[in-house]
Amino acid sequence: MLDINHLSFNRDNHQLFHDLSVQLPDHQITALIGPNGVGKSTLIQLLTGELLPTTGTIKNHPQRIALLSQHNQLFEPLTVRELLTLADDKLDQEVMQTLQLDALLDKEMPALSGGQQQLAWLGFVLQQKPDLLILDEPTTFLDLHFQELFLKTLQQLQEKRQTTVLMVLHDLNQAFRYSQHIWLLQPTGELVNASAAQMHHQVDLLSDAFKTPLQLIQTADQVILQPK
């Protein structure tokens, strides 16, 4: 669905990426992780066509691509209903119910909490019925409750619709819990591509990438990564 072939990108005489080649898994959630400043958002901008690669190609095969950023702005105070129907005049009832937006439809977006606004924006991109959904740090400004609610509802709808999803996340445990596949962007500009199950146990690799000694801890119901 999305193929990166020998991608390189230079900015201000600094090479962020060199000769990246990777294919995004279809009908799965892939989490893009890596330390701050490594170029995750830049890679998203390249994938969406906002930036052009220095060399190499990016082939987008899907017909419908939607992007959700960490910052989403309106130039007038629309209601939730008005925002959602910008994408499609007919409200998608499955999206409304899963995201719990029914009770918010007639409220203006600025009157909502940050978490409610981000769920409404997720509804907006899902109303577009994308084949590929790209999310750039969608939970950054949400509290823990809304982070989990956002990711759980995204996961539920992705499973039902088999949408291909690529999302940038900072929380490693959320990345492993809510995705089937991991792209690890390293400070060297290299990208490690693996299933979440495989990557989860690459503790030394993750420790080196984030410059923090990590360890796996078994809790009552899951295995989590945490600093030593």
**Per-residue confidence band for 204, with pLDDT thresholds at 50, 70 and 90:** very high
pTM of the model: 0.92
Measure Cα distances from 191 to 14, 23, 41, 43 in Å: 17, 11, 14, 11
Return the pLDDT at 189: 86
Please report, rounded to a whole number, the percentage of residues in the chain having pLDDT higher than 90: 74
Return the pLDDT at 87: 82
For β-strands 2-11 and 181-185, DSSP reports them as unpaired
Q: What is the pLDDT of residues 111-136, one digit of tens each?
A: 999 889 999 999 999 999 999 999 99
Give residue limits of the domains in the chain. Answer: 2-227
Q: What is the pLDDT of residues 5-21, one digit of tens each?
A: 999 999 888 888 889 99
Return the pLDDT at 107: 96
Q: Which residues of 115-132 are buried (b: 16+ CB within 10 A; e: fewer)?
A: bbbbbbbbbbbbbeebbb
Residue 26 has pLDDT above 80, yes or no: yes
> If you average pLDDT over residues 47-56, what whole number do you get?
93
Domain 2-227 has CATH 3.40.50.300: yes
Q: Quote the CA–CA distance of 31 and 60 in Å, as a whole number.
A: 18
Q: Quote the CA–CA distance of 198 and 200 in Å, as a whole number.
A: 6
| 152-156, 163-167, 216-220: segment of lowest average pLDDT | 216-220
Return the pLDDT at 163: 95
Please classify residue 46 by burial: count the beta carbons closer than 10 Å to its beta carbon, then call 0-12 exposed, 13-18 middle and 19+ buried.
buried
Number of neighbouring beta carbons within 10 Å of residue 188: 11
Q: Quote the CA–CA distance of 151 and 139 in Å, as a whole number.
A: 8
223 CA to centre of own chain: 22
> If you average pLDDT over residues 64-70, what whole number do you get?
90
Phi and psi dihedrals of 132, rounded to 5? -130, 125
